[in-house]
Chain A
Amino acid sequence: MDSDCLSLLPAVCLVLADPKQSPPDDTSLEKLLDWFKELHSQSNGQVLLQHQPCLLEFISNVCTSKTTDPAILSFTLKLTGLLAATTQGFNLLDEGGLLVYVFEREAWGVCDLWEDASVRSGWLQGLLDMLKHQQALGFICGNGLIKVILQLQNDRSLFVACLANQLLVHILNFLTSSNMTSGSDVVGSSESSLRPDWVSASSEIMNAVVEALSSEDCPRVLQGLRLLSLVLSQCGEPIISTLWKDVLVPLEVFVNRGSESLIQTLITVLEAALGTPLLSQSEYKVEELLEAMLGDGNRKECFQCAALIVKLEKCPEVLKRKATDIILLPLQCVSTQPQAEKEINVVLKEQLSQKASCISLLMQSLSSLAQLAHTKYLFEDISIHSITSSVALLLRMCSGHCPSSLLHINAFTHLIGCCKVQRCGLDTLGALSVYEENLDLRKDIFGVLLDYLQSPDSHATVLKKTFQAVKRWIVCSPFPDLLQFISHDLFPVLEKRMCDLRWEVRDSTLEFITQLTAALNGNSGFSEALHTSGMVSVLLSSLADAEGYVRASAVAAVGEAVTASFHQTVLVSNSKLLEDALMQMMAILSQDTEGFPRRAVVQAFTSWLKGSHLIMALESSLSSVLSLGGSDFDWEVKMHTLELAEVLMEKTLTCCPYAVQNFGSSEETRFTQALIKFKDFGLFDLLFNSLFDCDRPVCEKACALLVKLGTLTAETADLDHSILVLNVCGNRWGDEVQRRYLNKQQAKASVCVTNGVTGSDEGTDCDLHCTKDISLPKILQILDLDDMQRMLTLSSDHVVNSPRSLMEDILSAAQQSEENIVDCY
């Protein structure tokens, strides 16, 4: 393939360098670069430039041309960088002075092109790609390119500025690693250990950072801080400590000034510093700076800062505690009575009195709390009990209840009906369920959650969050106490919600029931409550919902309910439930006009089959499901049907109780019996039909299953072929099998004729085309499944997506445009 492409390369280079041609689109050029990258990585030391001199010519032409397009120049810069990434390539380009010509923008045919951001970006990318060896570093330092890169760091294009920062970090990093590999001092060594020509380069970059940080220009400061954080996270010593010493003073100024626009970036810098050895050395004041950012919780910015610090992974414990105390302040202030002795936080009070800042502060507070809860953080100064009560109270306030003692903060009216805070609060409340200390608050928590479930004003998304929280609290609580709550309080609400006007609510209610049933799988108390409370009949009636998504969720819920019913002591209603469920589900699979419910039905069967209890009961329906699912017009239904077939195969072939009962003792007999069973279920029809389906994933899956079956068949020596004969007439796959077989026969016959051989040992096979029945092993053999599988694994666009096709496209587009020009005249 590559050799084909390489033969096209000269022509492509000519087209690209031709200023009369309009350049191909960016995607084509990027794909072409990708191909070069791939070639480069596979080159095994061979240098592309040596074999393809057209590339040198192309690069030179583009740079000297007076009419080069910016896109082509940018491409050329990137390509040159890529080609110069090896020392040999670099030398080849450098020999004729071409490299300087490319990266020295004054030398270009059109200087104005530098104004185009794509060209600047290509220039930086080229250097970045090239910087793989010391010669490249020498080239950059020696030609004064550092200065240009530093200018580009403040470029108006964010992409260029970002790339410049990356390049600078790469240079610094390269300086350090080159230094280290050159065998000089280890980490912590002084600047003097660096090679003198590189010292100036590194100090130029570091001085630029310090200058940027001392600037009054906010965007410049931000870029400086970004570079600093990159250096901290990507570079090693001695760069880090050297730079940090120089920037510490301006950093302290920023922190003390508390400028809002810099907070996020400052935190990123400090976060990066936390991951370095700087943290352990007190003179570098990393912790001190972070602490200063928090202040006493009396600054407007400290909450945002605290929220960010709480998220930090490597954060000193003391600092995290302080940040936690601060981030909890808004929540506590709104939901607890003020203590006379405690000084009232004026800044906080003012922010809470304005709607926008109140909501944002509380959401910060809540989401930080949720994050802490996810790690099961141990709170020290404040009990988790009181925090959880505060969240519950806040949620009550959001639905309009407020004890008069809390009216000291004018936040209450902002909160009533505020979905954002409700959702966030419910998430947090759910997360707080992990603390065992909260167990005695359960009644209160369930009260709040139940209020939300009952409230007619609860938004659909709020209800969804409520369901999630309820599930978390139920799952983590000791169960016997909960039965009362579930059957007397929760189920009636769920029943009502399943009749909700909004389909989203009906859907999330059913999803909740499914999840809850699955989570409490094996809990006989719950299963019994589910059946005795009448919930199951409500679930069954939801199978006829007008909305497809709801029907799908109802199918899943019924599926779980059926599974659950088999965990409890046998109830008379169980078989009735399965019977009803099967009847309605089969009706959905055969008649439902929407795909989701049909997919859900097949999935429910799969999940039933995975459990060991239901196989006997499902036997009568399985062949219908396989047949209906396999002939569905929705490809996902077909995929799920194949997954069902896979589970069926696994279960039957791996000695499940059901399989053992009927089969004889020997492995072979059992296998044969299993195959006969598959035939009865219509499994082979499903697999062969799917193999020739119009949807590639379906074919792929069917093919994989058939390959598995083929392997097993081949392994079974004394398989009686006559028992496993399939009818190949009257269906699509049978025709295909016959056609392939005939093709093979004809090929074989022609070989025989050429060789002068007549007759064959396999003469009996010649009659195959006129027979209807072929044995399974024979069919598997004819189909050449391995080859089919290989073809199917290639993506459907593998032909049109190849580099060759890309190059041909570029060439033919050029040709067409020439023809068009002729047409115009």
Chain B
Amino acid sequence: MNLHSFLWTLKSPAVNDDLSLCVCVQYCLSGHPTLPCNVLKFKSTTIMLDCGLDTTAALYFLPLPLVHSPRLSKLPGWVSKDGAINLEKELKECSGRVFVDSQPEFCLPEKELLDLSTIDVILISNYHCMMALPYITEHTGFTGTVYATEPTLQIGRLLMEELVTFMERVPKAQAATCWKNKEIQRLLPGPLKDAVDVWSWRKCYSVQEVNSALSKVQLVGYSQKVELFGAVQVTPLSSGYSLGSSNWIIQSHYEKVSYVSGSSLLTTHPQPMEQSSLKNSDVLILTGLTQIPTANPDGMLGEFCSNLSMTIRAGGNVLVPCYSSGVIYDLLECLYQFMDSANLGSTPFYFISPVANSSLEFSQIFAEWLCQNKQSKVYLPEPPFPHAELIQTNKLKHYPSIHGDFSSEFRQPCVVFTGHPSLRFGDVVHFMELWGKSSLNTIIFTEPDFSYLDALAPYQPLAMKCVYCPIDTRLNFHQVSKLLKDIQPLHVVCPEPYTQPPPAQPHRSDLMLELQPPPMSYRRCSVLGLPFRRRYERIHLLPELARSLVPSEIKAGVSVATVSAVLQSKDNKHVLQPVPKPAPVPPSKKRKRVMEEPPEVLNPKPLLSGAVPLEPFLATLHKNGITEVKVEETADGHILHLQTEDVLIQLEEDATHIICDNNEPLRTALRDLVLRFLQKL
């Protein structure tokens, strides 16, 4: 329907910025596909989506031994071949590679791309994706709120505390910074030479910073709708990846952005992924797909068990470097069933971490966040995870550290689960030194975050067997294509690596996202204008105003009414209120405050609809004595030149203009002729 504006101009109300058409922008602060950190500017809110910490930078550093290691302490310092650069104190040569001898540092999300103090909220999708939180909340002027589920907060806290403990247990007196000098770095041997953004690397935060950062977390439950300033609503949905892991829906009344990060469709311990709510998204930001798309988790689990079993049968020990929460629960469950069937029931498992106890206990109490199968156990009542039974039967023992009770109770052959998977800090360093020399022992890598060859580099030469069974339960490309077919977002935004086959397998076109329209890709420091424009805004009519409307049907099923009202905008909510009636003029003689009275509200002129047909209109003009009319066809309609009267009438689809010089009676007469053809509202 076209409203015909005829000699009538709509006077727009005072338009709020939000009501104007606007663009949604995404700032990409991390290029790491599984440790994302993006900022979304959407409807006047600034939302950070995850703040993952890239700990792979630690691989450039020497391991932090928990017990004095003669091998590591005697490493030669690095001096350039010509002797010009001497960094003996900062860099050590170990097994043919050069490592930084300092407390390991981590690569932070980009801080320079936008002012992080303007961030209103941070949405966390899972506990692995919040490890950079203290760097963001404590040193940027951040004053907003962090939203996360309870398991995410609690387990995230454990992981942070563990990281801090690992670092603080082995203090390093010096911090190495000279090597970061650009001129020096380019002369260093690889891979140090190729490390990027080294100046943005930071040491680990402190417990105080962790506590302060986590105090800003506001807990949310799945499907809970959280209003942000009345402008947008955010909702966490189960993502099926880990305890409390979430995808997020960020929506206004007419726009919907879905943030999918670290999701899994496999049946493991967490609640299954909620998919249907992701439907009808304008934009879907897709991160956190599996890092090892060629490794099927089931196959890897099988590989893990058979290698473990082979080692134990041969009298060796198994070392599993892992995070203290996550896949370890599934590994323990799998081993719980496997060990008896493999006749290895008497082999002890040790779980060594400063937070081992809390991790095992927390997993048992978050019943509502678990898969249905495990939830139902709670009502029996039974512990949802079988590791409780392993602990009870003394098959699984956990210790905060290798010091203390562990050393007296330690029995071999055994299986040890301990961190950190980078092999640069934590109790795992000790076991590498202890078991590395025997070919009977095996190290089995299950965490996909680190290249196992790089992780092992400072321990070479190594006699122990190495098995790489990365278990990554996150969505693979096949699953994600199926998911996207189901939920059909209009546009997909994803990290750049997802848009091309893995570099090592350029022929695997099945290991990339092939979508129509093609996904928008981003890398670190990209700024993307998301491909949708906001066109509508919801405005509420007050009932009394609604009652006053008089709709008139302009065609079957469509009625139109004019509204005169005052638009009130507050907290991003818009309400149309009736126009206040002018106060009755007091019978006062004084008329001093004329200026303060509300403006006189005139009844609006009626709206017109319809079209002015050319031939009948010419006939009408003729009937009214206007005979000399020259008609000219234009792109939008016609121009009629009344030659005798020297008047132009522009007939267009949605407007008619009468242009005549100072002949008001003629204009009025012509206007009335035009009005005959139009319908008044």
Contact = CB atoms under 8 A, between A and B. Distances in A.
Interface of A: 400, 402-404, 407, 412-413, 416, 455-458, 495-497, 499-503, 538, 541, 544-547
Contacts of B343: 541, 544-546
Contacts of B334: 501
A33 to B, nearest CB: 54
A136 B508 CA distance: 72
B302 A501 contact: yes
Which of B295, B309, B342, B509 gathers the greatest number of chain A CB atoms within 10 Å? Answer: B342
A456 B341 contact: no
A408 to B, nearest CB: 12
Contact of B294 (A400, A402, A501, A544): A400
B306 A546 contact: no
Nearest to B299: A456
B295 A501 contact: no
24 contacts: A404-B507, A412-B507, A413-B509, A416-B510, A456-B299, A456-B300, A456-B469, A457-B296, A457-B299, A495-B310, A499-B305, A499-B306, A499-B307, A499-B309, A499-B310, A500-B306, A501-B301, A501-B302, A501-B334, A502-B302, A538-B313, A544-B343, A546-B341, A546-B343
Contacts of B313: 499, 538, 541
A497 B508 CA distance: 28
A497 B306 contact: yes
Interface string B468-495: 0100000000000000000000000000
Contacts of B341: 503, 545-547
A416 B509 CA distance: 11
Contacts of B306: 496-497, 499-501
B340 interface: yes
B205 interface: no
A533 B342 CA distance: 21
A659 B532 CA distance: 95
Contacts of A545: 341-343
A404 B509 CA distance: 11
B338 interface: yes
Interface string B266-304: 000000000000000000000000000011100111110
B507 A456 contact: no
A498 to B, nearest CB: 8
Contacts of A495: 310
A304 to B, nearest CB: 28
A402 B507 contact: yes
A402 B509 CA distance: 11
Nearest to A400: B294
The 9 closest A-B pairs by CB, nearest first: A456-B299, A546-B341, A499-B309, A499-B306, A456-B303, A501-B302, A457-B299, A413-B510, A544-B343
A496 B296 contact: no
A190 to B, nearest CB: 66
A492 to B, nearest CB: 9
Interface of B: 294-296, 299-303, 305-307, 309-310, 313, 334, 338, 340-343, 469, 505-510
A545 B506 CA distance: 43
B440 to A, nearest CB: 13
Interface centre among A400, A501, A547 (most CB of B within 10 A): A501
B302 A456 contact: yes
Given A400-B505, A400-B508, A495-B310, 20 more contacts: A402-B507, A403-B507, A404-B506, A413-B510, A455-B299, A456-B302, A456-B469, A496-B306, A496-B307, A497-B306, A499-B313, A501-B301, A501-B302, A501-B338, A502-B302, A545-B341, A545-B342, A545-B343, A546-B340, A547-B341
A656 to B, nearest CB: 38
Contact of A500 (B294, B302, B505): B302
A456 B296 contact: yes
A495 B341 CA distance: 16
A454 to B, nearest CB: 9
Nearest to B308: A499
A499 B299 contact: no
Contacts of A412: 507, 509
Contacts of B305: 499-501
Contacts of A404: 506-507
Contacts of A455: 299
Contacts of B507: 402-404, 407, 412
B230 to A, nearest CB: 48
Contacts of B340: 546
A497 B309 CA distance: 10
Nearest to A492: B310
A456 B295 CA distance: 8
Nearest to A455: B299
Nearest to A500: B306
Nearest to B343: A544
Contacts of A503: 341
Nearest to A543: B343
Most chain A CB neighbours (cut-off 10 Å) among B299, B300, B507: B507
A394 to B, nearest CB: 15
User: Which of A404, A500, A545: most chain B Cβ within 10 A?
Assistant: A500
A806 B458 CA distance: 86
Of B307, B340, B510, most buried by chain A (CB within 10 Å of CB) is B510
A544 B313 CA distance: 13
A503 B338 CA distance: 11
A334 to B, nearest CB: 14
Nearest to B314: A534
A762 B495 CA distance: 104
B140 to A, nearest CB: 44
A503 B340 CA distance: 13
Contacts of A456: 295-296, 299-300, 302-303, 469
B64 to A, nearest CB: 33
A457 B300 CA distance: 8
Contacts of A500: 302, 305-306
Contacts of B302: 456, 500-502
A541 to B, nearest CB: 6
A503 B299 CA distance: 14
A458 B300 CA distance: 11
Contacts of A499: 305-307, 309-310, 313, 342
Contacts of B303: 456
Contacts of A400: 294, 505, 508
A546 B294 CA distance: 31
A546 B342 contact: yes
A501 B510 CA distance: 28
Contacts of A402: 507
Nearest to A459: B299
Nearest to A416: B510
A545 B340 CA distance: 9
A407 B508 CA distance: 10
Nearest to B300: A456
Contacts of A403: 507
B294 to A, nearest CB: 6
B30 to A, nearest CB: 29
B341 to A, nearest CB: 3
Contacts of A413: 509-510
A413 B309 CA distance: 34
A23 B313 CA distance: 68
A155 B627 CA distance: 85
A407 B300 CA distance: 28
B184 to A, nearest CB: 40
Nearest to A402: B507
A466 to B, nearest CB: 15
Contacts of A546: 340-343
B223 to A, nearest CB: 35
A457 B341 CA distance: 21
A412 B341 CA distance: 38
A402 B506 CA distance: 10
A5 B31 CA distance: 91
Contacts of A538: 313
B187 to A, nearest CB: 37
**Most interface-central of A403, A496, A538 (chain B CB within 10 A):** A496
A403 B505 CA distance: 10
